[in-house]
Amino acid sequence: MSERTETRKPRSNSRARGAKKRDVEVLDAAARVFARRGYADASVQDVADELGILKGSLYHYIKMKEDLLFWLLEAVHKDVEEILEEVAGAESLSPLERLELYVRRQVLYNLDNLERISIYYHDVDSLSEERLTTILARRRTHERFITGLIKEAQDRGEADSSCDARILANCLFATIIWTYRWYKPNGRISRHAIADHCARFVLHGVVGELDAA
């Protein structure tokens, strides 16, 4: 009995690892197909072709095409929440320094995940109402955290408090998100230089005119 348990446990661990690896492969293939063909035009058959498996095999993982979109967007939020945890945990940094860290990390993440970010902003509205609500709730938590950092900086007199923190947060997100529309991989400017420029642009924009504060 104990022997059976022992032999079963490693097998089930390696099965879990195999399943996780396959999940990643499926989501990567879906991201490539949705980015190339557009989510609306892409089919489950296209994703199966990209994976080199039969459509029937793909239906072991999913019930419908929308599952792939939802899991992709959930995966983006999971990654981004790790960035937010790092920023929240950097207790020795001032609010402005945390914002700077956040912008750098988030820009680099977006540049490294252009397909997923482009699907996120192009196709999030294709989700069913319930799933869209789930995604938007995670986005709101994210937005509240960043708006809170801006307010903290304003309260400490380190940023112009005559500006509305929520509008500033929208301008900050704009700078970060829009990179997916203009960034050219292998262009003349490195990913780190772009993250640096965006962080400086945002920081000066958030700090604003301190005399007016």
Q: Residue 184 in 3-state DSSP?
A: coil
Q: Does residue 147 belong to the site contacting a copy of itself (CB under 8 A)? A: no
118's tokens = 């482009």
Q: How far is the CB of 94 from a copy of itself (least distance, A)?
A: 17
Amino acid identity at 65: K
Q: Is 69 helix (H, G, I), strand (E, B) or coil?
A: helix
Which residue is associated with the tokens 């203009």? Answer: 182
Which of the residues 78 through 107 are near a copy of itself (CB under 8 A)?
none
Task: Figure out which of the listed residues 22, 32, 55, 122 binds a copy of itself, where binding follows CB under 8 A.
Answer: 122
- Using the rule CB under 8 A, which residue among 23, 85, 112, 164 binds a copy of itself? 164
Q: Which stretch binds a copy of itself (CB under 8 A): 14-22, 45-53, 86-94, 177-185?
A: 177-185
Q: Which two structure tokens, joined as six digits, stand for 121?
A: 């902003």
137 scored as a contact of a copy of itself (CB under 8 A): no
CB nearer to a copy of itself: pick between 80 and 202: 202
Q: Which is nearer to a copy of itself, 154 or 175 (CB)?
A: 175
**Cβ distance 161 to 155 under 8 Å?**
yes
Residue 212's SS3 state is: helix
The answer to whether 172 and 164 are in contact (CB under 8 A) is no
60 vs 184, beta carbon nearer a copy of itself: 184
